[in-house]
Amino acid sequence: MTWLRLAIANLRLSPLTSAVNMLLMALGTASIVLLMLAGSQLSETMTRDAGGIDLVLGSTGSPVQLVLSAVYHADLPPGNISLEDAEQWADDPRVRTAIPLSLGDSYRGHRIVGTTPEYAELYGAGLASGRFWNETLEAVVGSAAAQSAGLSPGASFEGSHGLESGGQRHDSHPYRVVGVLEPTGTVVDRLILTSLESVWDLHGAGDDDHDDEHGHDDDDDEHGHDDDDDEHGHDDDDDEHGHDGDGHEDDDHADDAHDHEDEPEHDSGHDRHDSSAEITAMLLTYQSPMAALTLPRQVNAEGKLQAAAPAIEIARILQLVGIGLDGLSAFAWVLILTAALSVFAALYGSLRARRSDLAILRCLGATRGELLLALILEGLLLSLVGVVLGFLVAHGAMELLGGWLESTRGVVLTGWTWIPEETLLLFSLFGVGAIAAAIPAVQAYRTDVARVLAEA
Amino acid sequence: MLDKKTPSIDVSDLTFSYADKTILNIPQFTLDRASSVAVIGPSGCGKTTFLHLLAGLIRPNAGRIEVLGQRLDELKAASLDRFRGRHIGLVFQRLHLLPALNVRDNVLLAQRLSGSGGDAGRVAALFDQLELSGLEHRMPSMLSQGQAQRVAIARALVHGPELIMADEPTSALDDGHAERALALLQSSARSVGAALLVVTHDQRVRGRLDGELDLEVAP
């Protein structure tokens, strides 16, 4: 306690120097911790959002883009695919579950996903209130989406074209909210789910122009509407859902290979579509891990569709993100090194002025070892305060950043977490402080008391 | 730890050399318990070196030093530090109060390092005796020379040492302050029954203590 009080008193004697040292250490620590928290939670979030999906079927193009768009809803999809083509693979015995997704619209930044109730089940998202859809243009809203968009059962809203905000609104085809999902901490929280038919009805199933909704192939008409007066290509004004004669002949699939009535696991919930119906992606889970060896290769070899494994693409994305994080981490460690050098300089610089103090401490009965520890204690104190401050700043900043990212990007990050690597970092940084103080401490240990007193 | 007959300091055949030059050569010196001595001589005659040898801050080249019955050469470095802290009180010409600590903490630190920490009553009594009451929370930089000297003496006495050694305690003081400082050291040593050794070249000190050791004429 004696030495601790003395160390604190000595640090208080040079408040500016001490504050600068602590601040440097805090900045370096905060940078590293922030990066560690972001990296760790990003990895966790991506894995959690993959929801056990083994394979994504979608349009040919970039597999990363396909996974980002269909699994994380963080990118535009590469294009649409034929439902019929996708269902050929959904019926494969190696496939346990197949969930279709049809994208194209959004509401206040939340994507409207045409799918089946199994999609919510994939993430363990039960209903917090209401029910799932029974009819077209009924929607079930994820918890975060419901909160940010102010939607609850009974509310209605109009979706907008495109997956980003600012698209043209479907003024005449409002959705009606019939349910709200429980929070899951996954991507489904920020989505608005509806039936495939709702999406088809709004955009005209089988309409080739639907490809253009994703904005990848169209030069001037993002949503490919042939008729300016009929923004969704609805041929029949009396038909509320705009089905043209060729678009949704239920019988087309009622009795053929796409009839899944006896296979609930494969039931995509779409009870009416024609052979030209399109979806954005199909999410598959395997019956057995062995399927991973053959199924993706077969799908890709056939060429109509692209198969992308989220696990592989996550690893690829995290590797890319990791390179960036490593670069930033290196910079943060430079800050730590600067702080350590600053602690060293402060203690070493003060030694000359304090030589007589050290000498008098020896006269009062302090041993050489105690002087050594006293200096190390000062270095530790400087780093302790800086490191603790850095951890607090990092966690606080992560909480603020997480709140902002959740509201704007739907990415869930929190500062209220402690990852195991932080414990290691904590002790490492104390070690840095002790090492920075080591040379001054050895100098203190070697103080020639008689000479110092004689010179004084 | 001592019987009354054991001298506070007993030195024989003491030699200290530096860079092949003999700085100090004292065949015999004894300071009895509760008595006082002035170690005098011109600058450079080894007065301060003698004090440092007696305090165990440096080791002699030859000879025996016994302080309070303890042969210093038998103690290892850390034990010697502890012995010094516990049994000896040191006062220097430059007072060396720790600038980071206030008056009270400067004195308490000495008490703690001596191993007799926690006696707040003794600290308060000492502050009364040395007229330091009311200055406890002042920083050393806020003290006058006289106040600082009294704090340095309080620090040397707070653990009840059996030997007090002072190095040039009056050299930088005017007559009035020198008189007061010397009187304070004598009365303080007397009050705790300690022996007093004062190293000085100040002629004003001569004849004020029980004995003298003149290093210039030391045999």
From chain B, the residues in CB contact with A453 under 8 A are 48, 52, 57, 92, 96, 167
The verdict on a CB contact (< 8 Å) between A356 and B96 is yes
Q: How far is CA A106 from the centre of its chain?
A: 19
Contacts 24+ apart (CB under 8 A), A250-259: A257/A87, A257/A88, A257/A91, A258/A83, A258/A84, A258/A87
Half-sphere exposure of A204 (CA within 13 A, CB side): 23
From chain B, the residues in CB contact with A369 under 8 A are 78
**Distance between start and end Cα atoms, chain A:** 29
In terms of Cβ atoms closer than 10 Å to its own Cβ (0-12, 13-18, 19+), residue B80 is: buried
Q: Are A119 and A97 in contact (CB under 8 A)?
A: no
The verdict on a CB contact (< 8 Å) between A357 and B78 is no
> How far apart are the C-alpha atoms of A454 and B47, rounded to whole Å?
11
| Cβ-count burial B10-27 (b if 16+ within 10 Å, e if not) | bbeebebeeeeeebbbbe
- How far B92 CA lies from chain A's nearest CA (Å)? 9
> How far apart are the C-alpha atoms of A144 and A406, rounded to whole Å?
8
The verdict on a CB contact (< 8 Å) between A356 and B94 is yes
Tell me, yes or no, if B84 comes closer than 8 A to chain A by beta carbon: yes
Q: Which of the pair, B194 or A172, is modelled with greater confidence?
A: B194
Interval B30-53 mean pLDDT: 92
Q: State the complex-level ipTM.
A: 0.91
> How far apart are the C-alpha atoms of A133 and B193, rounded to whole Å?
99
The verdict on a CB contact (< 8 Å) between A365 and B105 is no
Q: Are A225 and A267 in contact (CB under 8 A)?
A: no
Interval B11-18 mean pLDDT: 94
Q: Are A175 and A137 in contact (CB under 8 A)?
A: yes
Tell me, yes or no, if B9 comes closer than 8 A to chain A by beta carbon: no
For residue B117, list its beta bridge partners.
Answer: none
Helices (H), A152-309: 196-203, 251-254, 291-302
Query: What is the tens place of the pLDDT at every residue in B123-161?
Result: 888 898 888 999 999 999 999 988 998 899 899 989 989
Q: How many CB atoms lie within 10 A of CB A317?
A: 19
Question: Which residue of chain B is at minimal alpha-carbon distance from A359?
Answer: B96
Question: Which residue of chain B is at minimal alpha-carbon distance from A454?
Answer: B48
Q: Which pLDDT band holds residue B20 (cuts at 50, 70, 90)?
A: confident
Q: How far is CA A404 from CA A218, A246, A393, A399, in A?
A: 33, 45, 16, 9
From chain A, the residues in CB contact with B80 under 8 A are none
Pairing relationship of beta strands B62-67 and B70-71 according to DSSP bridges: antiparallel
Interval B20-38 mean pLDDT: 93
Nearest-CA neighbor of A302 among A53, A83, A86, A55? A86
- How far B10 CA lies from chain A's nearest CA (Å)? 20
Mutate to test the interface with B, among A2, A362, A364, A378 (most CBs of B within 10 A): A364
Question: Which residue of chain A is at minimal alpha-carbon distance from B46?
Answer: A454
Query: What is the tens place of the pLDDT at every residue in B85-102?
Result: 999 999 988 888 999 999
pTM value surpassing 0.90: no
Q: What is the dihedral of CA B30, B36, B40, B45, to 10 degrees?
A: 40
Tell me, yes or no, if B87 comes closer than 8 A to chain A by beta carbon: no
Nearest-CA neighbor of A58 among A11, A110, A100, A108? A100
Which parts of chain A register pLDDT below 50?
205-272
Nearest-CA neighbor of A198 among A101, A97, A71? A101
Question: Which residue of chain A is at minimal alpha-carbon distance from B49?
Answer: A450
Residue A262: predicted pLDDT:
36
> How far apart are the C-alpha atoms of A108 and A192, rounded to whole Å?
11
Mutate to test the interface with B, among A361, A363, A378 (most CBs of B within 10 A): A363
Residue reference for tokens 């004894």? B30
Q: Which pLDDT band holds residue B44 (cuts at 50, 70, 90)?
A: confident
Residue B76: predicted pLDDT:
94
The verdict on a CB contact (< 8 Å) between B101 and A9 is yes
Query: What is the tens place of the pLDDT at every residue in B166-175?
Result: 998 887 778 8
Residue A286: predicted pLDDT:
96
- How far B6 CA lies from chain A's nearest CA (Å)? 23
Tell me, yes or no, if B180 comes closer than 8 A to chain A by beta carbon: no
From chain A, the residues in CB contact with B113 under 8 A are 2, 361, 364-366
